[in-house]
Structure 1
Amino acid sequence: MNQQQFDKIKTGNGFIAALDQSGGSTPKALAAYGVPEDSYSGEDEMFDLVHQMRTRIITSPSFNADQIVGAILFEQTMDREIEGQYTADYLASKGVVPFLKVDKGLAEKENGVQLMKPIHDLDETLRRANERNIFGTKMRSVIHEPNEEGIKAVVEQQFEIGKKIIEAGLVPIIEPEVNIHSEDKEQCEEMLKNEIHKHLDKLSDDENVMLKLTIPSKANLYKELIDHPRVVRVVALSGGYSREEANEKLKENDGLIASFSRALAADLNANQSDEEFNASLKSAVDSIYDASVNKK
């Protein structure tokens, strides 16, 4: 593990950019960027276009290590190059710590939750991640209802896979998202917090994780997780909130920093000039950075 990167993630001021839209969410991401589905043919063209989008974001002067401590990549992005370097190496050269999305998407809803689909090639993915100088990983589940059995299963699955990731020398971002539209969001979050805490207490001194959580309805609900000795950092997903709303909610939570995707790229468009693009990205980066480091 790169100790300099570990220290930056643990104590650095800023946020983590989520640039990990996968096959299923890529058409939506491109459409939001001003590239409609009828403008490309097949997956190869689609992934070429989304890499161009990510490259434009990452190489922008507005994407800087003074405000962005890390970035989460899709597997194809890890294997592609930016200006002659593999993406993770390019990010590291800018001082931004690279992470990799390793999950294969969500299973069908059961017991009020969606577990992750099986990750059959995890060992091979982790081997390649180490080759590509990736620091950590991310994997997402979703909680819809305050179902004790379901929430327990989500957290068990996350930590079971998380331990394999730790054994491979990487830091896992454990992401049990709570649906922001859940009628019982606050109850889900309380149950989730308690379940995560149990698993954190079982980790040994050399096992460290990160958490990526929905911004809680009750401010500072996750403070005890943020302060837990086995937690490197707790980051927040935007979860469908607008950037403004996500930023306002984030400011109410001490020690919680952003890891936004849609809320980061919402105002970016393929048809913008470089000047317009960089200005839009700077505005987003500045506001998310401010919400991550300046609390109410």
Structure 2
Amino acid sequence: MKLLRYGPAGSEKPGMLDDQGRVRDLSAHVADIADEVLTPEGLARLAALNPADLPLVEGTPQRDLRLGPCVGNVRKFVAIGLNYADHAAESNMPVPSEPVVFNKWTSCIVGPDDDVRIPKGATKTDWEAELGIVIGKPAAGVTVEQALEHVAGYCVVNDVSEREWQLERGATWDKGKGFDTFGPIGPWMVTADEIPDPQNLSIWLEVDGKRYQDGTTKTMVFGVAELVAYCSHLMTLLPGDVITTGTPPGVGMGQNPKVFLKGGEVMRLGIEGLGEQTQKVVSQG
């Protein structure tokens, strides 16, 4: 299944994408794509529905029908750094021996095609196309072998980053990772049964039509199962929590000379089987 949330920002309704790429309304069955809806039991109930019996939503998704973040009520937005060896190299940082874990504030979450706003005075805003994991079954202290049982599905994430605040303003990466609009999620969450091998997905990002990132999740240092297990020892993972898993090489900071977003650009990114995002970059001065 491809589950999504559609409508105006802050008033999104739950939906499902049918085989023809049209949105079907789920409001009669669930209040949101969130919380217990993402548990194995909740997903099983949705899977039992016939999309053809659900009300058809007017409009074409991502054209004249806005899609919001594909998951509602995200309580934790956990991020992993330097999880591709070649990205660590372009960042002039060592490949980590354990996952690098930081936070993106949940207030940064926006829809897949909403504008990304450069913070006022910022000069080093950058992009990062990433595979997002959506937790379904609560996880606390799980093993690597158990970990994938706790995954509801996957989505595209743009881990937008302000490098000065991340790296030059007195430690803790979190400072540069959670500005408003720095967490586009979606367009939809694809349930885990449709992605049998999350370690075999192509991932890419373009800015103004120029492809900067063109990688594959095969080259992750720590795979999805390892990351879920590791994070579950640091915190209890709850339904709807999102873990974004790191980015392949090709970020602006890694270019020679470096390339940062100034405003007016258009970012386009996607992951095989998970859809695409498009964001206009807006300068706030």
TM-score by length of 2: 0.26
- Higher relative contact order, chain-length normalized (CA < 8 Å, sep 6+): 2
User: By percentage of residues, which structure has more strand?
Assistant: 2
Q: Given the two structures, how large is their TM-score scaled by the length of structure 1?
A: 0.26
